[in-house]
Structure formats: structure tokens, C-alpha cells
Structure 1
């Protein structure tokens, strides 16, 4: 296979470093890659400036990698008849793939942390309190209007096959509009299955991910033990 050209169309919020034409750092095109070898293409990019109003659109867009290539040799080998291509065809093909890039949290406005459990093990059928601490990292003058309000919307995402939420799964919390303000969100959950399961997750629907720092947002998996064994027996009168 012969690689003729390659370029990367970046989504908003990212820019190319160096030439800035979207091409990789090395310009050895065209070059031939044999079937028994591998090749890599290196692009150098960095985070660019983006306005606050465009942050929602950044999450929805994707970067596109374009690779223009050609097949060397007899392309009819192994093909089913009839073959509508010339054995020595030199036409170029274009391969495209979407690469969603996520901007790092460089200057977050809110911090969400998962508080550890008060006991070591969870058990099926036993209520447990899931707690998250939410902290404001900036003064209201430095952030956008919806983050400067005293109330924020939250929601709990849990797999209904693994957890039963004992209470509200969605609501508002009051967070003072001053830097360093903290609030703890507590939700009671009931484990339904045993094993290593993904715990419920806390989300802030009205806040972009680039404004939230999670350290950590929650454990990847938690261990849930089977229910306590019970038995009954009869005593002769």
C-alpha cells in the first residue's frame, strides 16, 4: 500500500502546532508500506482559544482524520469475478475516520469529589449512603452566569439492574456564590446484585465538562457481598 497524503481536520478548540496545514510532522509522502510492516503518523496539536458560548458545541463535534492511499500491485488477486478494476490501477482512495477529542480541564470552576464509605464492604439488600462533595473554585465574577447562581441541578445515573435509589434521582442543590463554598450531596442506594459493580454516578447537566474537575468522581467498581445467610429450624415441643 502506498500512502499518498494525510491530514487532520480539527474540531473547534484545537489547533495544529508547526506548519498549521493539518499535515503530520514528517512529510515523507508518498511512501510504501509493505503488508508485513506497520507505520505511524504523528500529528502535534494543542488546545486553542475558544469562547464560553462555543463550549457546548465542542462536545458535539469530532475531528476527522483523512488518509489518501493507493493499492500497489495486482488488485485483482483474490477478487471475485467479474473484476471491474484494472490490474495495474493507480487510482487513489480516501479513508476517513472520526476522532473525538476532549479538551483537558485546565481551569475548572467546580470540583466534584466522591467521599469514601464509612465501612469496608457493601452487601446486597443493605442501604448505603453515596456522598459527593461539590466545591466552588472561582468567584462569581470570573465565571459564566449559570455557574454564579446559588442553585445547581444534579442527577444520579445508576443501573436499575444493580442499584435501587431510595429517594430523588434528580434535584437542585444550594451552593453559595463565593469561592470555597462546599456542599455534600447524599443519596441512599440499595445494592441489588453481588460482585464488582459500577457505582451510581453524579452528573451536573447544566455545567459543561470543561468546567468540572473530578478528583475522583467516584470509584470505577465497588465490591458488593451476597446477602447474609439465614436459616430456620423447628424445636420439638
Structure 2
């Protein structure tokens, strides 16, 4: 009985005696009727307990729901306030962006206008400088042409003078060479005649010697 898995109720009915079953039982009743009431309680009391439990559950549920709703409402209010703040911040940012774009546009237009004015001024100055430089270059070109003409005339004169001198010197050298050639030819002709005369004299002497020798031999 002590090892029984189900709860046990003992109702022996002898109040003066205490049994072992009562010592190990879950509940001890005075009579079997009390045991039946303990095992199967009164329906009215059960309903009352159920009603009490339902009331407690309703109160707990209402409290939990109210707290949850209040927390959600607070979170929604905080989120809505945050969204409103973000919307205001975005609106302010857009306004600042629009103001900044307007300021940038105005500054850019002013900068472009000033830069264009400065560029036009620089172009006008450069055009005037170019015109002055063109006039100066034209004058310089005319002066250079005159100088080139003078240099060409001087070069032609110097070249002609030098050519004449070189031709004169060349003609003199040619004449001197021609004279030297004539002199050499005359000297060579004289030397040739001298050789011929010497050969003729030698031949005559040889013939004379042979004749004398022949005469001497004939006399002997």
C-alpha cells in the first residue's frame, strides 16, 4: 500500500485505534462517508472553486492585457514621437539642402560670371598684345628684309671679288705651269739632241778606229 502509485484514503472508523494503513495512507477519514466526500468533493464547492479560479484568471488576464496594452501604447507613442522627430529632422534637412543648393547655385553663377569677365578681359589684353606684337613683327620683318637684302648684296660682291681673285691666281698658276712645261720640253729636246750627237760621235770614233785598225792590218 505504501508503494501504490495512486493516492489512498483510509476510513476504518475506530478513532481509538491507529492502524498501519492509516500511517501510510494519503488521507485518513473518520467514516467511509467522509472518505467518499474527500475522494469526490461537493459539486457546489467545486463550482465555487472553479468560479474563484475563473475570477482570478480573469483578473490576472485583465491585468496582463492591460499592462501589455499600456506597454504597447507607450511604445507606439514613443515610436510615433520618434517618427515625428525624424520627419521634422528630414524636413529640416531638406530645407537646409534646398538652401545650400540655392546658395551653391548663386555662388556658382557669380563665380562663372566673374571668371567669364576675367577671361574676356584677359582675351582683350592678349588680343591687344598680339596686335602690338604683329605690328612690331611686321616692322621687324621689313627691317630684317632690308638687312637680308644688304647682306645678300655684300655676299654677292664678296663672292664675285673672291671668285675673280681665285680665277686670276688660277690663270697665273696655269701660265706658270705652261711655261715650266715648255721649258722642260726644251731642256728635254736639248738633252735628246746631245745624246744623239754623243752617239753619233761614238759611232764615228768606232768606225774610225775600225778603219784605222783595218789599215794597220793591211799594212802589216
TM-score by length of 2: 0.12
Greater strand percent: which structure? 1
Between 1 and 2, higher relative CO (CA 8 Å, sep ≥ 6) is seen in 1
Give the structure with higher Rg (CA).
2
TM-score by length of 1: 0.12
